[in-house]
Amino acid sequence: MSEIVFPAIAAPVYPLTEEWEDVGIASSFEDGSEISRPRFTRSRGKWTLSWTALREADYQQLMTFWRDTARGKSMVFDWTHPVTGITYTVRFAEKQPFKNIAPGLWSGEVTLREA
């Protein structure tokens, strides 16, 4: 568990994109056979969170968290999955540009990767 926690802002919109790493590695031989083994001991999750109408206060809280608390990709923090309620220790993997779609409303997405 991390001391830093993802801010309590509006939930992301659906679909919530979730992806798990393939931990396996495979090698093919000249006779057509293949062997495989695990490359890593665990599979890390990756989630893309999108907002289509994030209110100004939540947007400012998210950007302050991204810039000053998590410092982009550099710090890990706890994030609770909005569907399962499971808490993961993650870091930002990507941040797409946010767009001001109307006065006081923002649209954009961030991607989190399990640390």
Domain count, the chain: 1
Q: Is residue 95 part of a domain?
A: yes
Q: Is residue 8 part of a domain?
A: no
Q: State the pairing for strand pair 87-95/34-38.
A: unpaired
Range of the domain at 63: 13-21+43-114
Give the model confidence (pLDDT) of 36-88 as tens digits: 888 878 889 999 999 999 999 999 999 999 999 999 999 999 999 999 999 99
Tokens describing residue 5: 């926690």
Q: Is residue 32 part of a domain?
A: no
Q: What is the mean pLDDT of the chain?
A: 94
Q: Is residue 100 part of a domain?
A: yes
pLDDT value of residue 25: 86
Q: Is residue 29 part of a domain?
A: no
Q: Is residue 107 part of a domain?
A: yes
Q: Is residue 36 part of a domain?
A: no
Q: Is residue 69 part of a domain?
A: yes
Report the distance separating Cα 112 and Cα 114, nearest Å.
7
pTM score over 0.85: no
